[in-house]
Homo-oligomer: A and B are copies of this chain.
Amino acid sequence: TQTYKLAVVAGDGIGPEVIAEGLKCLAAATEGTDIAFETTEFDLGAQRWHATGDTLTDEDLAAIKGHDVILLGAIGDPSVPSGVLERGVLLPLRFALDQYVNLRPSRLYPGEVSPLRDVDEVDFVVVREGTEGPYVGNGGALRVDTPHEIATEVSVNTRHGVERVVRYAFEVASKRDRKQLTLVHKHNVLVHAGHLWRRTVEAVAPEFPDVTWDYLHIDAATIVMTTNPQRFDVIVTDNLFGDILTDQAAAISGGIGLAASGNVNPDRTAPSMFEPVHGSAPDIAGQQKADPSATVLSVGLLLDFLGYPELAARVESAVAADAAAKGDAQRSTSEVGDALAARIRG
Protein backbone atom coordinates (compact mmCIF):
# COMPACT_ATOMS: atom_id res chain seq x y z
CA THR A 1 0.00 0.00 0.00
CA GLN A 2 1.20 3.43 -0.93
CA THR A 3 0.17 5.80 1.86
CA TYR A 4 0.16 9.57 1.42
CA LYS A 5 -0.01 12.08 4.21
CA LEU A 6 -2.76 14.54 3.39
CA ALA A 7 -3.13 17.82 5.27
CA VAL A 8 -6.73 19.02 5.17
CA VAL A 9 -7.51 22.70 5.70
CA ALA A 10 -11.28 22.99 5.51
CA GLY A 11 -11.21 26.66 6.49
CA ASP A 12 -14.13 29.06 6.59
CA GLY A 13 -17.65 29.44 5.24
CA ILE A 14 -18.51 26.72 2.76
CA GLY A 15 -14.99 25.27 3.11
CA PRO A 16 -15.92 22.38 5.44
CA GLU A 17 -18.94 21.40 3.30
CA VAL A 18 -17.05 21.24 0.01
CA ILE A 19 -14.05 19.56 1.63
CA ALA A 20 -16.29 16.76 2.96
CA GLU A 21 -17.37 16.02 -0.61
CA GLY A 22 -13.81 16.33 -1.89
CA LEU A 23 -12.66 13.70 0.60
CA LYS A 24 -15.65 11.52 -0.27
CA CYS A 25 -14.61 11.59 -3.92
CA LEU A 26 -10.96 11.04 -3.09
CA ALA A 27 -12.00 7.89 -1.22
CA ALA A 28 -14.16 6.80 -4.14
CA ALA A 29 -11.34 7.32 -6.62
CA THR A 30 -8.85 5.27 -4.63
CA GLU A 31 -11.27 2.54 -3.54
CA GLY A 32 -9.94 -0.88 -4.49
CA THR A 33 -6.47 0.49 -5.22
CA ASP A 34 -3.40 0.20 -3.01
CA ILE A 35 -3.40 3.98 -2.51
CA ALA A 36 -4.28 5.26 0.94
CA PHE A 37 -4.47 8.71 2.49
CA GLU A 38 -3.68 9.46 6.10
CA THR A 39 -5.36 12.79 6.78
CA THR A 40 -4.60 15.42 9.41
CA GLU A 41 -6.99 18.31 9.84
CA PHE A 42 -5.62 21.77 10.40
CA ASP A 43 -7.78 24.35 12.05
CA LEU A 44 -6.80 27.52 10.19
CA GLY A 45 -8.95 30.50 9.41
CA ALA A 46 -11.46 32.84 10.99
CA GLN A 47 -12.59 30.73 13.96
CA ARG A 48 -9.08 30.05 15.13
CA TRP A 49 -8.08 33.69 14.67
CA HIS A 50 -11.03 34.89 16.73
CA ALA A 51 -10.26 32.36 19.46
CA THR A 52 -6.49 32.71 19.65
CA GLY A 53 -5.35 35.58 17.44
CA ASP A 54 -3.20 33.11 15.49
CA THR A 55 -3.06 32.86 11.74
CA LEU A 56 -0.42 30.38 10.53
CA THR A 57 2.11 29.62 13.25
CA ASP A 58 5.60 28.19 12.81
CA GLU A 59 4.30 24.99 14.40
CA ASP A 60 1.44 24.77 11.89
CA LEU A 61 3.85 25.25 9.05
CA ALA A 62 6.31 22.66 10.36
CA ALA A 63 3.48 20.15 10.83
CA ILE A 64 2.08 20.81 7.35
CA LYS A 65 5.53 20.38 5.84
CA GLY A 66 5.51 16.81 7.12
CA HIS A 67 2.71 16.01 4.66
CA ASP A 68 2.76 15.01 1.01
CA VAL A 69 -0.13 17.13 -0.19
CA ILE A 70 -2.69 19.63 1.08
CA LEU A 71 -6.38 19.94 0.30
CA LEU A 72 -7.79 23.39 1.13
CA GLY A 73 -11.42 24.54 1.15
CA ALA A 74 -11.56 28.29 1.54
CA ILE A 75 -10.13 30.90 3.87
CA GLY A 76 -11.81 34.21 4.73
CA ASP A 77 -14.69 35.72 6.64
CA PRO A 78 -16.18 39.21 6.78
CA SER A 79 -15.78 39.21 10.58
CA VAL A 80 -12.00 39.32 10.11
CA PRO A 81 -10.39 42.49 8.76
CA SER A 82 -9.62 42.14 5.07
CA GLY A 83 -6.11 40.90 4.46
CA VAL A 84 -5.53 39.28 7.86
CA LEU A 85 -6.32 35.72 6.79
CA GLU A 86 -5.26 36.15 3.15
CA ARG A 87 -1.86 37.52 4.16
CA GLY A 88 -1.77 35.47 7.35
CA VAL A 89 -2.75 32.00 6.17
CA LEU A 90 -3.35 31.47 2.46
CA LEU A 91 -0.47 33.45 0.98
CA PRO A 92 2.06 32.34 3.63
CA LEU A 93 1.22 28.73 2.73
CA ARG A 94 1.76 29.38 -0.99
CA PHE A 95 4.97 31.31 -0.33
CA ALA A 96 6.53 29.22 2.45
CA LEU A 97 5.87 25.99 0.57
CA ASP A 98 7.33 27.55 -2.58
CA GLN A 99 4.22 26.74 -4.61
CA TYR A 100 5.40 28.71 -7.56
CA VAL A 101 2.98 27.25 -10.09
CA ASN A 102 -0.64 28.16 -9.61
CA LEU A 103 -2.29 25.86 -12.14
CA ARG A 104 -5.81 26.78 -13.21
CA PRO A 105 -7.42 24.86 -16.04
CA SER A 106 -10.60 26.18 -17.69
CA ARG A 107 -12.95 23.90 -19.57
CA LEU A 108 -16.52 24.30 -20.69
CA TYR A 109 -18.02 20.90 -19.93
CA PRO A 110 -20.77 19.54 -22.17
CA GLY A 111 -24.06 20.70 -20.72
CA GLU A 112 -22.56 23.91 -19.36
CA VAL A 113 -23.56 27.04 -21.24
CA SER A 114 -21.04 29.85 -21.48
CA PRO A 115 -22.41 33.33 -20.84
CA LEU A 116 -20.65 34.17 -24.09
CA ARG A 117 -23.10 33.97 -26.97
CA ASP A 118 -20.81 32.49 -29.60
CA VAL A 119 -18.66 30.26 -27.43
CA ASP A 120 -19.28 26.54 -27.15
CA GLU A 121 -15.75 25.43 -26.47
CA VAL A 122 -13.28 26.55 -23.84
CA ASP A 123 -10.19 24.51 -23.06
CA PHE A 124 -7.11 26.23 -21.78
CA VAL A 125 -4.85 26.30 -18.75
CA VAL A 126 -3.58 29.35 -16.94
CA VAL A 127 -0.18 28.92 -15.34
CA ARG A 128 -0.13 31.71 -12.78
CA GLU A 129 3.07 32.52 -10.92
CA GLY A 130 2.50 31.93 -7.21
CA THR A 131 5.37 33.35 -5.17
CA GLU A 132 6.27 36.76 -6.59
CA GLY A 133 4.78 39.86 -8.19
CA PRO A 134 2.62 42.31 -6.26
CA TYR A 135 1.73 39.47 -3.86
CA VAL A 136 5.05 39.52 -2.02
CA GLY A 137 3.76 41.82 0.70
CA ASN A 138 6.47 44.36 0.01
CA GLY A 139 5.14 47.86 0.56
CA GLY A 140 3.86 50.05 3.30
CA ALA A 141 2.14 53.21 4.30
CA LEU A 142 3.23 56.51 5.80
CA ARG A 143 1.12 59.07 7.69
CA VAL A 144 -1.83 56.69 7.64
CA ASP A 145 -5.23 58.34 7.84
CA THR A 146 -3.90 61.84 7.37
CA PRO A 147 -4.22 64.02 4.26
CA HIS A 148 -0.57 63.18 3.58
CA GLU A 149 -0.92 59.42 3.56
CA ILE A 150 1.16 57.54 1.00
CA ALA A 151 0.81 53.83 0.41
CA THR A 152 3.01 51.68 -1.77
CA GLU A 153 2.87 48.13 -3.10
CA VAL A 154 5.99 46.67 -4.65
CA SER A 155 5.90 43.99 -7.30
CA VAL A 156 9.05 41.91 -6.99
CA ASN A 157 10.07 39.70 -9.91
CA THR A 158 13.22 37.64 -10.27
CA ARG A 159 14.73 35.83 -13.18
CA HIS A 160 14.85 32.72 -11.00
CA GLY A 161 11.17 32.98 -10.13
CA VAL A 162 10.00 33.84 -13.60
CA GLU A 163 12.16 31.31 -15.41
CA ARG A 164 10.98 28.33 -13.41
CA VAL A 165 7.29 29.07 -13.94
CA VAL A 166 7.82 29.91 -17.60
CA ARG A 167 9.63 26.60 -18.14
CA TYR A 168 6.80 24.79 -16.40
CA ALA A 169 4.27 26.52 -18.67
CA PHE A 170 6.22 25.52 -21.77
CA GLU A 171 6.24 21.93 -20.49
CA VAL A 172 2.47 22.02 -20.01
CA ALA A 173 2.04 23.46 -23.50
CA SER A 174 4.36 20.89 -25.08
CA LYS A 175 2.14 18.09 -23.77
CA ARG A 176 -1.07 19.55 -25.20
CA ASP A 177 -2.46 19.16 -28.70
CA ARG A 178 -2.15 22.75 -29.81
CA LYS A 179 1.17 23.51 -28.08
CA GLN A 180 0.46 27.21 -27.95
CA LEU A 181 1.68 29.45 -25.14
CA THR A 182 0.57 33.04 -24.55
CA LEU A 183 2.49 35.32 -22.23
CA VAL A 184 0.24 37.92 -20.62
CA HIS A 185 1.75 40.99 -18.99
CA LYS A 186 1.79 44.76 -19.44
CA HIS A 187 5.32 45.39 -20.65
CA ASN A 188 4.48 48.71 -22.26
CA VAL A 189 3.87 50.22 -18.83
CA LEU A 190 5.44 47.87 -16.28
CA VAL A 191 8.62 47.91 -18.33
CA HIS A 192 11.04 46.41 -15.82
CA ALA A 193 8.93 43.44 -14.76
CA GLY A 194 7.35 43.08 -18.18
CA HIS A 195 10.59 42.97 -20.06
CA LEU A 196 12.02 40.47 -17.59
CA TRP A 197 9.05 38.21 -18.36
CA ARG A 198 9.38 38.75 -22.10
CA ARG A 199 13.12 38.12 -22.20
CA THR A 200 12.72 35.02 -20.08
CA VAL A 201 10.09 33.55 -22.42
CA GLU A 202 12.37 34.34 -25.36
CA ALA A 203 15.25 32.59 -23.61
CA VAL A 204 13.34 29.46 -22.64
CA ALA A 205 11.41 29.06 -25.92
CA PRO A 206 14.27 27.38 -27.85
CA GLU A 207 14.14 24.46 -25.38
CA PHE A 208 10.62 23.78 -26.68
CA PRO A 209 10.84 24.04 -30.46
CA ASP A 210 7.41 22.45 -30.93
CA VAL A 211 5.67 25.11 -28.85
CA THR A 212 4.68 28.39 -30.48
CA TRP A 213 4.27 31.43 -28.28
CA ASP A 214 2.86 34.92 -28.48
CA TYR A 215 2.18 37.86 -26.23
CA LEU A 216 -0.83 39.87 -25.07
CA HIS A 217 -1.13 42.83 -22.75
CA ILE A 218 -3.41 42.05 -19.80
CA ASP A 219 -6.00 44.58 -20.97
CA ALA A 220 -6.10 43.05 -24.45
CA ALA A 221 -6.24 39.57 -22.89
CA THR A 222 -9.55 40.42 -21.19
CA ILE A 223 -10.92 41.37 -24.61
CA VAL A 224 -9.78 38.13 -26.23
CA MET A 225 -11.17 36.23 -23.24
CA THR A 226 -14.53 37.79 -24.15
CA THR A 227 -14.47 37.66 -27.93
CA ASN A 228 -12.34 34.64 -28.74
CA PRO A 229 -11.31 32.46 -25.77
CA GLN A 230 -10.79 29.54 -28.17
CA ARG A 231 -7.56 31.33 -29.07
CA PHE A 232 -6.01 30.31 -25.74
CA ASP A 233 -4.24 27.03 -25.09
CA VAL A 234 -1.80 27.77 -22.25
CA ILE A 235 -1.41 31.20 -20.66
CA VAL A 236 1.54 32.08 -18.46
CA THR A 237 1.35 35.24 -16.38
CA ASP A 238 2.25 36.88 -13.12
CA ASN A 239 0.54 36.44 -9.78
CA LEU A 240 -1.86 39.42 -9.98
CA PHE A 241 -2.70 39.19 -13.67
CA GLY A 242 -3.26 35.48 -13.15
CA ASP A 243 -5.62 36.14 -10.26
CA ILE A 244 -7.70 38.47 -12.43
CA LEU A 245 -7.63 36.41 -15.59
CA THR A 246 -8.55 33.11 -13.91
CA ASP A 247 -11.67 34.58 -12.34
CA GLN A 248 -12.69 35.90 -15.75
CA ALA A 249 -11.83 32.49 -17.21
CA ALA A 250 -14.05 30.78 -14.65
CA ALA A 251 -16.89 33.17 -15.46
CA ILE A 252 -16.80 32.45 -19.21
CA SER A 253 -16.67 28.70 -18.71
CA GLY A 254 -18.75 26.83 -16.18
CA GLY A 255 -18.62 29.52 -13.54
CA ILE A 256 -16.61 29.76 -10.36
CA GLY A 257 -18.38 26.62 -9.06
CA LEU A 258 -16.31 24.53 -11.47
CA ALA A 259 -12.92 26.24 -11.22
CA ALA A 260 -10.21 24.09 -9.67
CA SER A 261 -6.62 24.97 -8.88
CA GLY A 262 -3.35 23.51 -7.82
CA ASN A 263 -0.70 25.47 -5.96
CA VAL A 264 2.13 23.32 -7.13
CA ASN A 265 5.72 23.04 -6.00
CA PRO A 266 7.06 21.08 -8.97
CA ASP A 267 10.42 20.50 -7.28
CA ARG A 268 8.60 18.70 -4.45
CA THR A 269 10.70 20.39 -1.80
CA ALA A 270 7.45 21.00 0.12
CA PRO A 271 3.84 19.85 -0.21
CA SER A 272 1.65 21.16 -3.01
CA MET A 273 -1.82 22.45 -2.21
CA PHE A 274 -5.07 21.94 -4.10
CA GLU A 275 -8.07 24.24 -3.68
CA PRO A 276 -11.16 25.47 -5.47
CA VAL A 277 -10.76 28.98 -6.93
CA HIS A 278 -13.94 30.19 -5.22
CA GLY A 279 -13.96 31.83 -1.80
CA SER A 280 -15.66 30.97 1.46
CA ALA A 281 -19.08 32.36 0.39
CA PRO A 282 -20.21 33.12 3.95
CA ASP A 283 -23.70 34.06 2.70
CA ILE A 284 -24.50 30.43 1.88
CA ALA A 285 -22.28 28.70 4.43
CA GLY A 286 -23.70 25.79 6.41
CA GLN A 287 -26.75 25.51 4.18
CA GLN A 288 -25.61 22.68 1.90
CA LYS A 289 -26.01 25.04 -1.04
CA ALA A 290 -22.41 25.16 -2.23
CA ASP A 291 -21.35 23.28 -5.34
CA PRO A 292 -18.48 20.96 -4.37
CA SER A 293 -17.50 20.31 -8.00
CA ALA A 294 -14.53 22.70 -7.97
CA THR A 295 -13.17 20.97 -4.88
CA VAL A 296 -13.68 17.55 -6.48
CA LEU A 297 -11.87 18.75 -9.62
CA SER A 298 -9.07 19.98 -7.33
CA VAL A 299 -8.88 16.44 -5.92
CA GLY A 300 -8.42 15.33 -9.53
CA LEU A 301 -5.48 17.72 -9.92
CA LEU A 302 -4.08 16.35 -6.66
CA LEU A 303 -4.26 12.77 -7.94
CA ASP A 304 -2.61 13.81 -11.20
CA PHE A 305 0.17 15.53 -9.26
CA LEU A 306 0.79 12.36 -7.23
CA GLY A 307 1.22 10.38 -10.43
CA TYR A 308 -2.22 8.91 -11.03
CA PRO A 309 -3.40 10.48 -14.27
CA GLU A 310 -5.95 7.70 -14.88
CA LEU A 311 -7.61 8.36 -11.50
CA ALA A 312 -7.50 12.09 -12.18
CA ALA A 313 -9.19 11.53 -15.52
CA ARG A 314 -11.88 9.48 -13.82
CA VAL A 315 -12.59 12.30 -11.39
CA GLU A 316 -12.72 14.89 -14.17
CA SER A 317 -14.98 12.68 -16.30
CA ALA A 318 -17.35 12.28 -13.36
CA VAL A 319 -17.67 16.05 -12.99
CA ALA A 320 -18.11 16.46 -16.75
CA ALA A 321 -20.79 13.77 -16.88
CA ASP A 322 -22.58 15.24 -13.88
CA ALA A 323 -22.51 18.71 -15.46
CA ALA A 324 -24.03 17.29 -18.64
CA ALA A 325 -26.75 15.36 -16.78
CA LYS A 326 -27.63 17.57 -13.86
CA GLY A 327 -30.39 19.73 -15.34
CA ASP A 328 -31.94 22.44 -13.22
CA ALA A 329 -32.82 20.42 -10.09
CA GLN A 330 -31.65 21.89 -6.79
CA ARG A 331 -29.26 19.50 -5.09
CA SER A 332 -27.56 19.76 -1.74
CA THR A 333 -23.79 19.87 -1.48
CA SER A 334 -23.68 16.27 -0.27
CA GLU A 335 -26.11 15.09 -2.96
CA VAL A 336 -23.76 16.46 -5.59
CA GLY A 337 -20.85 14.81 -3.78
CA ASP A 338 -22.71 11.50 -3.66
CA ALA A 339 -23.53 11.70 -7.36
CA LEU A 340 -19.91 12.46 -8.21
CA ALA A 341 -18.59 9.69 -5.97
CA ALA A 342 -20.98 7.21 -7.60
CA ARG A 343 -19.79 8.21 -11.07
CA ILE A 344 -16.16 7.99 -9.99
CA ARG A 345 -16.73 4.46 -8.68
CA GLY A 346 -18.21 3.77 -12.14
Identify which of A86, A87, A157, A192 gathers the most chain B CB atoms within 10 Å of its CB: A192
A251: chain B residues within 8 A (beta carbon)? 222-223, 226-227
Shortest A244–chain B CB gap in Å is 5
Counting chain A residues whose Cβ lies within 8 A of the other chain, the interface size class is 35 or more
Shortest A222–chain B CB gap in Å is 4
A252 an interface residue at 8 Å Cβ cutoff?
A: yes
Q: Which of B146, B151, B222, B252 lies in contact with A192, CB distance below 8 A? A: B151
Q: Which of B155, B158, B248 lies in contact with A226, CB distance below 8 A? A: B248
Q: Which of B145, B153, B225, B250 lies in contact with A193, CB distance below 8 A? A: B153
Q: Are B115 and A139 in contact (CB under 8 A)?
A: no
A148 an interface residue at 8 Å Cβ cutoff?
A: yes
A240 an interface residue at 8 Å Cβ cutoff?
A: yes
Q: Are B139 and A193 in contact (CB under 8 A)?
A: yes
A 189-228 binary contact with B (CB < 8 Å = 1; else 0): 1111111101100000000000000000011101101110
Shortest A194–chain B CB gap in Å is 7
**What is the CA–CA distance of A113 and B116 in the complex, to the nearest angstrom?**
11
A243 an interface residue at 8 Å Cβ cutoff?
A: yes
Which residues of A in the span 94-123 have a Cβ within 8 Å of any Cβ on B?
A: 113-118
A160 an interface residue at 8 Å Cβ cutoff?
A: yes
State whether A134 and B151 are in contact (beta carbons under 8 Å apart), knowing that A222-B248, A252-B226 are contacts in the complex.
Answer: no
**What is the CA–CA distance of A86 and B117 in the complex, to the nearest angstrom?**
34
Q: Are B159 and A227 in contact (CB under 8 A)?
A: no
A306: chain B residues within 8 A (beta carbon)? none
A192: chain B residues within 8 A (beta carbon)? 139-141, 151-153
A226: chain B residues within 8 A (beta carbon)? 115-116, 226, 248, 251-252
Closest Cβ neighbor of A279 among chain B residues: B220
Q: Are B244 and A82 in contact (CB under 8 A)?
A: no
Shortest A265–chain B CB gap in Å is 20
Q: Which of B87, B117, B154, B250 lies in contact with A154, CB distance below 8 A? A: B154
A150 an interface residue at 8 Å Cβ cutoff?
A: yes
28 A/B residue pairs, CB under 8 Å, sorted by A: A83-B187, A83-B194, A87-B189, A115-B118, A116-B226, A134-B153, A134-B155, A134-B190, A139-B192, A145-B199, A147-B163, A148-B158, A149-B196, A150-B158, A151-B157, A151-B158, A151-B195, A152-B154, A152-B155, A153-B154, A154-B155, A219-B246, A223-B247, A223-B250, A223-B251, A226-B251, A227-B251, A227-B255
